[in-house]
Amino acid sequence: MSFNQAELGFDIVIIRLGGEIGIKAAWTRKMYERRLIGNIKAVLKYYDIPHEALNRRFGRLYLKTSQAQSASQRLARVFGVSSVSPALKTTSKLSDIIDKSVQVAGSTLKKRSSFAVRCRRVGEHTYTSQDVCREVGRHVLDTYSEHGLRVDLKSPDTTLSVEVREDEAYIFTDVMRGVGGLPLGAQPKAVCLLNENIGSAVACWMVMKRGCPILPLHFSEDPAFINEDTDRALKAAKTLFEWAMGFPRKVGIVSHGLNLAQIEQNCPKKLKSVLSKRVMYRVAKRVAEMEHAEGIVTGESINEAAGQALHVLSLQDEAAEPFPVHRPLIGLDAAEIEELARKIGIHDVVVQKVDVSEAPLKTEVAISREEVSQAEENLNIDELVKRSVEAIKTLSL
């Protein structure tokens, strides 16, 4: 790629924290940062990335590692990280900065390309930021004069960045965008209804991104748990857990087939969907209580032409009380959900179908609270829920 064939050993990764972390009150910020550091260490351990130190300075994290490039790619996917740069560290002596900058330029600039030098400086130095830009630019042009480089301050092919912080300096060209969000574990755990469709997995990821570790619950219609849907849901869970290094990788599988059979036998057909959901929510609520989780997450979105639909949602929510039901996809388009699925890596794992709030219901079917209560009495619903909770099979993925 570059004209300098010698491999450049970046020796440090600059990790920039999400803007939301910086503006928190001191106590919260410290807690978030501690979480983030713990999560970063779990990723380094999982991928066996050697490192000497992980320091917090100047509102950033600096990771000293011989594998700065690959570490950067991994760390860009840690929630709470806004961007990362593999960098070369040196002292704040101008001659050192020039030497190392020339080295970085040699291994990243392409022949006949344009570049700019930018400098940010914190602390007292014998030179200005402009001095750094001018001197580094001149030395790069001189050193590689045969390669037809040119300076373009407006839209350079490459920006050579020099950050001088007190008595240290960091030189880099690449700023990889991080996933953002809040550090996982900064928020309480959530129980997530995870099925084989794209929506529920994306919903899980969105609450993870906001700091909630997840406990996915999958409701299987197959008593042996070996049908294709369960398989897909488990694959989705595995992919989600790759975003949650260091956190439990547990999935609960609920045998829901028997519940559905009971509902079909004993209740009006039009109530099947809402009753099935209410059983699920009740089971999720029990699990949330046992596991000290604080909310229930589903992948439903507003998607049907129905005056009835939103009322049905509230009939469902009732069953989860006192836990709030979160629907992070409620304002998203199918195309946006698919785009997220690609980013997360679950797009080819799950079924390309977005959940609708009340799938099997037609627009004009009115359902009253009384009908639902009556049906649940006929069902002996507490028994159904108790049996389902007792029979939950927990897998560690």
Under the binding rule (CB under 8 A), the answer on residue 323 touching its own copies is yes
Q: H-type helices in 55-93, by residue range?
A: 68-75
Q: What is the DSSP letter of 18?
A: P
Query: Between 137 and 299, whose beta carbon lies closer to its own copies?
Result: 299
Q: Counting contacts by CB under 8 A, is residue 302 touching its own copies? A: yes
Helices H, strands E: what count in the chain? 13, 15
Packing angle of the helix pair 257-266, 369-379 (nearest 10 deg): 110
Smallest distance from its own copies to CB 301, Å:
7
User: Contacts from 257-263 at CB under 8 Å and sequence distance 24+?
Assistant: 257/220, 257/221, 257/222, 257/223, 258/223, 258/384, 258/387, 259/384, 259/388, 260/221, 262/379, 262/384, 263/379
x-marked contacts with its own copies along 190-229 as a string, rule CB under 8 A: -------------x--xx-xxxx-----------------
Among 42, 116, 176, 330, binds its own copies (CB under 8 A): 330
Q: Which of 125, 295, 381, 389 binds its own copies (CB under 8 A)?
A: 295
317 binds its own copies (CB under 8 A): yes
Q: Which is nearer to its own copies, 16 or 134 (CB)?
A: 16
Helical residues (DSSP H) of 210-302, grouped into ranges: 228-241, 257-266, 272-291
Residue 180 lies near its own copies (rule: CB under 8 A): yes
Say whether residue 311 binds its own copies (CB under 8 A).
Answer: yes
Q: Contacting its own copies (CB under 8 A), which of 26, 322, 370, 377?
A: 322
Please say which residue, 242 or 294, places its beta carbon nearer to its own copies. 294
Q: Is residue 394 helix, strand or coil?
A: strand
Q: Is 254 exposed, middle or buried (0-12, 13-18, 19+ CB in 10 A)?
A: buried
Amino acid at 80: G
CA angle 226, 230, 236 (to 5 degrees): 135
Say whether residue 334 binds its own copies (CB under 8 A).
yes
Handedness of CA 289, 291, 293, 299 (dihedral sign): negative
Is 361 a binder of its own copies (CB under 8 A)? no
Number of residues that bind its own copies (CB under 8 A): 54
Question: Is residue 360 within the footprint of its own copies (CB under 8 A)?
Answer: no
Q: Identify which of residues 82 and 239 has a Cβ nearer to its own copies in the complex.
A: 82
Out of 265, 331, 370, 377, the residue judged to bind its own copies by CB under 8 A: 331
Find the shortest distance in angstroms from Cβ 214 to its own copies: 12
Contact 169, 96 (CB under 8 A): yes
Question: Does residue 326 touch its own copies according to CB under 8 A?
Answer: yes
Tokens 């040119």, located at residue: 150
- CA–CA separation, 213 and 185 (whole Å): 6
| 299 is a site residue for its own copies (CB under 8 A) | no
Residue 286 binds to its own copies (criterion: CB under 8 A): no
Q: Considering the complex, what minimum distance in angstroms separates the CB of residue 20 from its own copies?
A: 5
Q: Which two tokens stand for residue 233?
A: 């849901």
- By beta-carbon proximity to its own copies, the closer residue of 24 and 93 is 24
Closer by beta carbon to its own copies, 136 or else 206: 206
Binder to its own copies among 59, 123, 188, 223 (CB under 8 A)? 188
We find the least distance from the C-beta atom of residue 246 to its own copies, in angstroms, to be 18
Residue 301 is classified by DSSP as: B
The amino acid at residue 231 is D
Read off the tokens for 317: 């929510």
Residues of this chain that interact with its own copies (CB under 8 A) are: 18-20, 24, 28, 31-32, 82, 180-181, 186-188, 203, 206-207, 209-212, 294-295, 301-307, 309-311, 313-315, 317-318, 321-324, 326-336, 363, 369
